[in-house]
Chains A and B, each alone.
Chain A
Amino acid sequence: MDETQAHIEFLGLREQPFAPTADPVYFYATREHKECLFRLWNSIDSGHGIAVVLGNYGTGKTTLLRKLITGMAADPERYHAAVIGSPIPSWTSFALLENIVAQFGLRPSTPSYVAYMDALNRHLLANRNRICTLIIDDAQNLNKRGQLELLRLVQNLETQQRKLLNLVLFSQLEWAEVLRAAPNFHQRVNLTYTLGAIQFEETRQFIAFRLMQAGAREDEGPTFEEGALRAIHAYAEGIPRVIVTLCRNSLLVASQLRERVITADMVLHTIDKTTLPDPEKRVRVVAAIAEHAVSADGQRVQTPAGEDPGSLDARARDQRAARILLQAGRENQSVESA
């Protein structure tokens, strides 16, 4: 057994719960992600044309995209999808068309615009009893007028009631400016949904869900202390990818220390050792932990959700973490003032 797997098994897990991949198995439906999916499916099923999902990097767009594709793949008689994962900014409109056609599995023998459009249109007509959808990730790379014009043209084929090709475009927020600059395309967008950061309670559930999916059992799996959760959420500012990275590195520390409880000081140590130095953010993290852990006179002010209030061990751990963290906060402040 290799060392990585040994760490995972020590923690009582079957696999890495915080892998740096957009695996739909680990898709967690926050309120926002669920609403986004609901609206996307409605737009797709109705053949309403173009849907855009905007979100800052790390907000879970690609995982959501793959959740969508998995849903389509489960019903191939009803859905037919092609995916372009990473369009290249320098693509001409014809290169984009070539990729669209290729991802639908078509290989026209004549390399011409008319032949490719005709091949695509025939394919869509031949599959008109299915819901055909082209999904593009990293759509912010498509910022040329010709590329948007091509996208507009490929979904022009329609019946009386619906488009024969849906487009679902996932993009970073800055693409909004490109859309505004191309009103003839923008006007045809049926849905624009913007994903944001997740809330603290969702961070807690997000982490718990991933542990469960990776095989954690209540009596054996790793546990994140309340202070650790608050530290992670404060550092990540609710961005799922940052949460995942920090959890992954914190788990490594825990397993190296032969601990199954991830404490706030472990998280702080991980932040110090694995991220870019950011004293301001570190102080915010420490403050978030301390605010939860103790009041001014050292008494707990909040019981972590899901934790036994009578658990002396848990309380002792939190207080220990708070002491360390308050000390760390004071050190930070003295360094800054010096």
Chain B
Amino acid sequence: MSAEEAQDNAARQLDGPVSNEPDAIEGKLMDRIGPDARLDSGIPEDQRGGDLDFVEMSGITLSPPLPDPSPADAPSPNANDPLGFYEAGVIDVDGAMEAAAEKTDLSPGKMRSPSADSFREIAEGLSEQNFAGAKTSTVEPDGSPSLPRTPDAPPFPRRGPTSATRT
């Protein structure tokens, strides 16, 4: 700070305290803090723990786990009372998937995929019929013509409630 600045500051009293009020406020504040054991020196006799309590209080060792199962660690969320945003989101998505699964019956026991052998046998059967001519014409219960097949050919796998009409 230059001499001129110092002189200017002195003239304007910039280096002096703005106000002594903060000290006075602190004094009043402390005087008006009511009796509270939480603010006093030491701790009450009945709050003194043992060595293990003291160690645990340090936060250096791991806290013992909460009794299991804790509400916080519940395995499946309650769809009617979601606790958090993520949980609500997961419930919505899971719900949508369940509805779709009901329509299409995607359960593992009911899912079948056609094997290459099946396709081969069907193709062979169709070829035989095309060249040898159709011996019989069978009709499915719903009235649609069914695929002619050899007695040994396995049934064509079907998906869904309706059967496709094949020519």
Contact = CB atoms under 8 A, between A and B. Distances in A.
B84 A85 contact: no
In the complex, which of the residues B37, B41, B46, B65 has the most CB atoms of chain A within 10 Å of its own CB atom?
A: B41
B62 A102 contact: yes
Interface stretch (B11-19, B67-75, B103-111, B135-143): B67-75
A34 to B, nearest CB: 5
19 contacts: A29-B40, A34-B30, A67-B43, A70-B43, A82-B63, A83-B58, A84-B59, A85-B60, A86-B60, A105-B66, A120-B72, A123-B71, A125-B83, A126-B70, A126-B71, A135-B59, A136-B59, A137-B59, A209-B41
Contacts, number: 112
B42 interface: yes
Contacts of A209: 41-42
Chain B at the A interface: SS class? loop
Nearest to A136: B59
Interface string A16-31: 0000010111111101
A67 B84 CA distance: 34
Interface in A161-206: none
Contacts of B58: 66, 83, 85
B30 A103 contact: no
Contacts of A102: 62-63
A102 B39 CA distance: 29
Given A25-B43, A38-B39, A106 B70 contact: yes
Give the 10 A-B residue pairs with the shortest CB-CB distance, closest first.
Answer: A83-B59, A85-B59, A123-B72, A105-B66, A85-B60, A122-B72, A71-B38, A126-B71, A29-B41, A85-B58
A158 to B, nearest CB: 13
A24 B53 CA distance: 12
B28 interface: no
Contacts of B73: 106-109, 119, 122
Interface string A101-117: 01111111100001000
Interface of B: 26, 29-30, 33, 36-44, 46-49, 54, 57-60, 62-66, 70-74, 83-84, 86-87
Given A106-B73, A125-B83, A27 B42 contact: yes
The interface size bin for chain A is: 35 or more
Given A34-B33, A41-B38, A103 B63 contact: yes
A6 interface: no
Contacts of A82: 59, 63
A127 to B, nearest CB: 8
Contacts of B70: 105-106, 123, 126
Interface in A51-108: 66-67, 69-71, 73-74, 82-86, 102-108
Nearest to B33: A38
Given A105-B66, A107-B65, A126 B72 contact: yes
Contact of A106 (B39, B40, B41, B65): B65
Contacts of A332: none
A66 B57 contact: yes
Contacts of B59: 82-86, 103, 135-137
Contacts of B37: 71
A310 B75 CA distance: 77
A35 interface: yes
Nearest to A34: B39
Contacts of A324: none
